[in-house]
Amino acid sequence: MWVRCRRFLILVIFITMIVNVTPPIHTYANEINVSSYSAIVMDQKTGRVFFEKNAHEKRKIASITKIMTAILAIESNKMGETVTVSKKATRAEGSSVYLKPGEKIKLRDLVYGLMLRSGNDAAVAIAEHVGGSVDGFVFMMNEKAAQIGMENTHFANPHGLEDQDHYSSAYDMAILTKYAMENEEFRKISGTKVHYAPNPDSEWKRKWTNKNRLLTELYKYSTGGKTGYTKKAHRTLVSTASKNGMDLIAVTLNTPSQTDWTEHIQMFEYVFDHYDYQVIVPDGTIDKITKKIYKKHAYIAHEYVYPINEDEKESFHVHYRLIKPKKEWKKNTDKIPEVIGKTEIYFHDELIHTMPIYYDHENKQEPSFFDSFKQLFSSVVGAKL
């Protein structure tokens, strides 16, 4: 009976914690000025938004769509499989890696062609192999978008060519990239400058050089990203960068000219210059918890860090919510559940993160003088107090 109750308590706590907490947007970056219609720069670790401009408006996104296509291909666990390229794939309009009908090529190579050279033919070949059909794959794209919280997004194809039902927002593309960058293989492919793939018509391999100039020549802190362009969407760009342990994501949509390269560098450099990670909640025993049954036993498993500037150090508030102790726990601490509450972290009075509070059963409390006296007296006179 107790085991079931204990499991129920843990379940209740986790249900209250499994809520997508959206980090608050406090933009102090007055020095950032972009010509792109939509823009955003976000912290990869925490999701904090440092700067935004029309970030939640639905816009055409062109080939940055392929970030979703790539991560679904990677998550399919089919990257080592051989794909037979269909005629339909080779007839895809726009940018191409010049696949041949009937050509056999590894899915992994197709994803490189997709991300580095923006091959629309590669996108269709991936969709058909992973989703069974382009329509099946598009369904998977929209399912994943809903799953990770892309509220202003709808995909109509795997490549980003013009379609009135194909759109996203700068914010949504940032959270998609945040999700994708958690995958090691995606990070590797996105950050690759040159990839060589088999060529069925030649003994020489295909050489695919990444179109992302931030990565290949313009910005030494660049770690990857994806370019895009159509006549209606204009230029679109997603890029990532890392410096001194800080990882950032920048997105611009509907950029009228090639200013997007410098706009991304400007956003990155501003954040790198003005923000640092600070430990907001340390790991280990929570000294502020003084309730007797939990004292010296309540702990945080992992520290929580957040990127802030010098003026924001006093803007945090941490609240500890604990399960009300049961009477029988005093006599038998083994009945205390593993998770005894949650830590709520507030920034500018807005909830930004929650963490479980654990009970350390190994850390036995030292008995009080009165408890020791009772034990001694009992052993001497054989009485129960």
Annotated binding site: 226
Enumerate residues 6+ apart whose C-beta is below 8 A from 147.
none
Active-site residue flag, 257: no
Is 324 exposed, middle or buried (CB count within 10 Å of its CB: 0-12, 13-18, 19+)?
Answer: exposed
How many residues are present in the chain?
385
User: Among 131, 137, 115, which Cα is nearest to 63's?
Assistant: 115
Q: CA separation (Å) from 33 to 30, 39, 190, 275? A: 8, 10, 27, 18
Active-site residue flag, 133: no
Strand partners, 321: 342
| Residue set of the binding site for substrate | 226
Strand partners, 53: 39
Question: For residues 137 and 363, what is the distance between their CA atoms, to the nearest angstrom?
Answer: 51
CB 193 within 8 A of CB 210: yes
Active-site residue flag, 243: no
Strand partners, 305: 279
CB 249 within 8 A of CB 240: yes
Q: Which of 53, 66, 144, 178 is an active site residue?
A: 66
| Distance from the Cα of residue 214 to its chain's centroid | 21
| Distance from the Cα of residue 170 to its chain's centroid | 15
Provide the residue type at 345 as one letter: I
Q: Which of 38, 63, 95, 190 is an active site residue?
A: 63
Provide the residue type at 104 as one letter: K
Q: Which of 36, 38, 95, 118 is an active site residue?
A: 118
Provide the residue type at 220 as one letter: K
Q: CA separation (Å) from 86 to 120, 128, 133, 266, 302? A: 13, 9, 11, 43, 49
Provide the residue type at 49 as one letter: V
Phi and psi, residue 57, nearest 5° = -80, 140
Catalytic positions, please?
63, 66, 118
